[in-house]
A and B are shown apart, each in its own frame.
Chain A
Amino acid sequence: MKNLLLFLARFQGLLVFGVLEVISLYLFVTSSSYQRAAFFNSANAYAGVVLARRTEVLDYFHLGALNQQLLAENARLRQQLYPPDTSRRQADSLAVPPAPGDTLRRPRYVRPAQRPDTLLLAQQRLAARDPNYPLVPARVINNTLRSVDNYFTLNVGLADGVRPGLGVLAAAGVVGRIKTATDHYATATSLLHSKTSVSAKIKRDNTFGSVHWPGDDPTQALLDDIPRQNKLVVGDTVVTSGYNAIFPEGVFIGTVASFVKEPDKNFWTVHLRLGADFSNLTYVYVVTNRTRPARDTVEARALPPAGKEGRR
């Protein structure tokens, strides 16, 4: 017993070192999982208050840039209020082929409501304000950019209807996903995180793939799972696919910057230029989803209990 105590006294530094390292590494390794509602993150009340105060101070110095950003966004929103060119151009009646028994072959006319003009339908804009995905406006009060796993903190929380797992948009595109939330603050995993993956599609031909960040350049990301036989064009728009219930369909992610065919892969290696500028992320929107529980239930019933592939 005495020897044991002597041993402990002699190596106390090493022992304490080992214990503390194990605790730290455990916290570090488990901090990436969505399920863990941890105390040790910037959404906790004390850190939230400090970060909010810091943002108040910094806000003052950013007023000019902020105004520009709001102005640009207002302009875009105002534009959405205008009806599209095609919306009021429907003909009162449409000609359809003659009835089969009509020997005079007279054209018939029908009202468009009964049989919509398919040409006009194709030009119609998609609903800009999808009522199934209400938005919660939020302010970014903390943001990292150049780590391998980046996070940002928002000034909204459970009280505003923010729940872990919801998507986060900025005016310029997808930016991340909520990881944990407390009453008034929430921490989100940025799109610039090694484990974030967003289901996406190329707008031109609806080929779907997934976007992830390789960990170096905060303005670029990779688009995976585009088969080699598909034609790609530099500048193609990449939007969310709507295949999961996190983002509505058609939210801008980025444009194709370059693509290469690698000899040993079945898929293109596509580099995207991200739409959102993560270096000055300020106002964002948390996407809540009304139909999500119903959708998740039906998908869980239909699919075998799959691993990560199903959760994208």
Chain B
Amino acid sequence: MKTVGLLLGQALRYVVYTLVHVFIISRLVLFDAGWCFFYLGFVLFLPLGTPVVVQLLLAFGMGLTMDIFYDTGGLHAAAAVLLAFVRPAVLRLLRPRDGYDAADAVNVHFMGPAWFLTFLGVLVLVHHLAFFLLELGSFRHFGFTLAKVGASWAFTCVALLIVQLLFFPVRRLRQ
């Protein structure tokens, strides 16, 4: 019963992130160079104990959904899969001294702002570098691409931080 609830919850998260991204966020552009990769929240905020293979598959599915809407073939999928592959390594690097608690989650209130911002910043940066360099397919307009990475990075990080502050529980649930 608990597993079914978990699966339904994740499916709901997938639908919400997709719809919000497609309907609202994808229309927003910052300084003509920054996009908000809001849908990354789906992959970033998965539970800590999610198996690597499941993370990779979910990221691939999410990326492919975005590719369908943006007509980019497999560009979003490639970058999102890379993100999901790097995520466990970053989690391992940021592990607290006594390991993760069973009740821990990717949540700015539980883990503290320093932990959360490092986690978010590093992963989003990796994703954006991969995404924009792949999209370009070469090193022309390198400066402009870096500007795109920078603006998008700031935009995505701020948006996901706002999502965390507004919609994530402040107290741990009783187990």
Verify that A and B bind, or say they do not: yes
Interface residues of A (CB under 8 A from B): 12-13, 16-17, 20-21, 23-32, 38, 40-42, 44, 47, 50-51, 54, 57-58, 142, 144-149, 151, 153, 187, 194, 215-216
* Bound CA span A147–B137, Å: 12
Which chain B residues numbered 7 to 24 have a C-beta less than 8 Å away from chain A?
Answer: 22-23
User: Is the beta-carbon distance between B81 and A21 smaller than 8 angstroms?
Assistant: yes
Q: Taking CB as reference atom, which chain A residue is nearest B70?
A: A144
Interface residues of B (CB under 8 A from A): 22-23, 27, 29, 32-33, 35, 52-53, 56-57, 60, 63-64, 67-75, 77-78, 81-82, 84-85, 88, 134-137, 140-141, 144, 148
Contact of B85 among A17, A31, A51, A57 (CB under 8 A): A17
* Bound CA span A31–B140, Å: 21
* Bound CA span A20–B62, Å: 12
Q: Tell me which residues across on chain B come within 8 A of A215, comparing CB atoms.
A: 136, 140-141
* Bound CA span A27–B141, Å: 24
- Kindly list 12 other residue pairs between chains A and B, CB separation below 8 angstroms, not including A40-B67, A42-B70: A12-B52, A13-B52, A17-B56, A17-B81, A20-B57, A23-B60, A24-B74, A25-B74, A28-B67, A31-B73, A42-B71, A149-B72
Contact of B23 among A13, A24, A57, A146 (CB under 8 A): A57
Q: Can you sample 21 A-B contacts with CB below 8 Å?
A: A13-B56, A13-B88, A16-B52, A20-B56, A23-B74, A24-B81, A25-B134, A29-B73, A31-B71, A40-B73, A42-B70, A47-B68, A142-B69, A146-B32, A147-B70, A147-B72, A147-B135, A148-B136, A149-B72, A149-B135, A194-B137
Give A16 Cβ to nearest chain B Cβ, in Å. Answer: 5
Q: Tell me which residues across on chain A come within 8 A of B84, comparing CB atoms.
A: 17
User: Is the beta-carbon distance between A151 and B75 smaller than 8 angstroms?
Assistant: no
User: Is the beta-carbon distance between B82 and A21 smaller than 8 angstroms?
Assistant: yes
Q: Tell me which residues across on chain A come within 8 A of B23, comparing CB atoms.
A: 54, 57
Q: Tell me which residues across on chain A come within 8 A of B148, comparing CB atoms.
A: 146
Q: Taking CB as reference atom, which chain A residue is nearest B86?
A: A17
Give B79 Cβ to nearest chain A Cβ, in Å. Answer: 8
Q: Taking CB as reference atom, which chain A residue is nearest B54?
A: A16
Contact of B78 among A21, A44, A194 (CB under 8 A): A21
User: Is the beta-carbon distance between A16 and B53 smaller than 8 angstroms?
Assistant: yes
User: Is the beta-carbon distance between A27 and B22 smaller than 8 angstroms?
Assistant: no
4 tightest CB-CB pairs across the interface, nearest first?
A31-B73, A27-B74, A24-B74, A13-B52
Q: Tell me which residues across on chain B come within 8 A of A25, comparing CB atoms.
A: 74, 78, 134
Give A288 Cβ to nearest chain B Cβ, in Å. Answer: 22
User: Is the beta-carbon distance between A20 and B81 smaller than 8 angstroms?
Assistant: yes
* Bound CA span A142–B26, Å: 10
Q: Tell me which residues across on chain B come within 8 A of A51, comparing CB atoms.
A: 22, 69
Give A45 Cβ to nearest chain B Cβ, in Å. Answer: 11
User: Is the beta-carbon distance between A28 and B72 smaller than 8 angstroms?
Assistant: yes
Give B58 Cβ to nearest chain A Cβ, in Å. Answer: 11
* Bound CA span A47–B69, Å: 6
User: Is the beta-carbon distance between B78 and A28 smaller than 8 angstroms?
Assistant: yes
User: Is the beta-carbon distance between A24 and B69 smaller than 8 angstroms?
Assistant: no
Give B9 Cβ to nearest chain A Cβ, in Å. Answer: 23
Q: Tell me which residues across on chain A come within 8 A of B85, comparing CB atoms.
A: 13, 17
User: Is the beta-carbon distance between A148 and B144 smaller than 8 angstroms?
Assistant: no
A47-B69, A146-B32 known; A28 vs B75 contact (CB < 8 Å): yes
Give A171 Cβ to nearest chain B Cβ, in Å. Answer: 23
* Bound CA span A40–B140, Å: 28
Q: Tell me which residues across on chain A come within 8 A of B33, comparing CB atoms.
A: 146
A147-B135, A148-B136 known; A31 vs B74 contact (CB < 8 Å): yes
Give A23 Cβ to nearest chain B Cβ, in Å. Answer: 7
User: Is the beta-carbon distance between B52 and A30 smaller than 8 angstroms?
Assistant: no
Give B18 Cβ to nearest chain A Cβ, in Å. Answer: 9
